[in-house]
Amino acid sequence: MSAKNEPHMSASQISMALRCGEQYRRRYLMGEKLRPSGAMARGSAAHKAWEINDIQKIKTRQDLSAADVDGVFVEDFRRRVKDEDIHFDRDEPKKEVEQSGRAIVKAYHLEVQPTIQPAAVEKEFLIPLDGAPPILGYIDLITEDGTIVDRKTSGKKKSQPEDDWIRQLSLYAYAESLTRGLAPWESIPTRVDLIVSKNKPENVSIPVGELTQAAARPVLALAAKLYEAAVKDALLPNPNGWHCSEKFCGYWATCKYRKGA
């Protein structure tokens, strides 16, 4: 059985629990899965296109053509639209989302991919926790020089790593450090490749840092505490922030804690 189907924690679960306990409760304790958004489908299809390119490049040391990578994106995106009941916003319809996705895939493929020689792609890891399910994750990319790279798409340009990214990359580096048999003080370089979706897509490389095992220890402790609180139904709702809105929370319409409820 796949590890995905077993009880587990993840970096995204940690972020959601910190952002809003009610959102976490409904998604992970009550099992209320929401329709994926157009942006999510675009990001997932873009990752699939880059993944397919990286897997073959490990052996060939050459990138696929831009047309081939575009074809992977289009096929995967349209499959998701057909099979996953994707929700598209009025201000970003399906055709526009697909077009912007093709543009960001092409921009990254032509500008950044030629500088990358992958050594591992979508590498799965499990980190045991005391008193909680293990943390499950998948490392987007490990380059031949040992750098961990996480690719993200966004509608806004950013220049500094967000707290969520730091927690996520800390877990990636911790797991990879154990795999490599590194000493606790030995570090692994990490970065986020941010692909900004706009009229002309922009690629931004954001270093997260040289991370040692110590960087992940507070995150591991936090994950265990959040799980304990969730089991006790002690996570608190948080209606204060950008996330508490109809646009950014699929539970908003039926949430008794939302702003103005």
Nearest to 173 by CA among 184, 161, 158: 184
Query: Three-state SS for 223?
Result: helix
Q: How far, in Å, CA of 215 to CA of 171, rounded? A: 8
pLDDT score recorded for residue 201: 92
CATH of 3-254 given 3.40.120.10, 3.90.320.10, 3.40.50.12280, 3.50.50.60? 3.90.320.10
Q: How far, in Å, CA of 38 to CA of 103, rounded? A: 15
pLDDT score recorded for residue 155: 84
Cβ atoms within 10 Å, residue 48: 20
Give 232's DSSP letter: T
Residue 261: band (very low, low, confident or very high) from pLDDT cuts 50, 70, 90: low
The yes-or-no verdict on residue 248 having pLDDT over 70 is yes
pLDDT score recorded for residue 3: 67
SS3 content of the chain, % helix, strand, coil (to 5): 45, 20, 35
The yes-or-no verdict on residue 2 having pLDDT over 90 is no
pTM of the predicted model over 0.85: yes
Q: What is the DSSP string of 22-86?
A: HHHIIIIIS--PPPPBHHHHHHHHHHHHHHHHHHHHHHH-SPPPHHHHHHHHHHHHHHHHHHS--
Query: Three-state SS for 197?
Result: coil
Q: How far, in Å, CA of 19 to CA of 27, rounded? A: 13
Mind listing the pLDDT tens digit for each residue in 156-186?
889 899 999 999 999 999 999 999 999 999 9
Mind listing the pLDDT tens digit for each residue in 134-152?
999 999 999 999 999 999 9
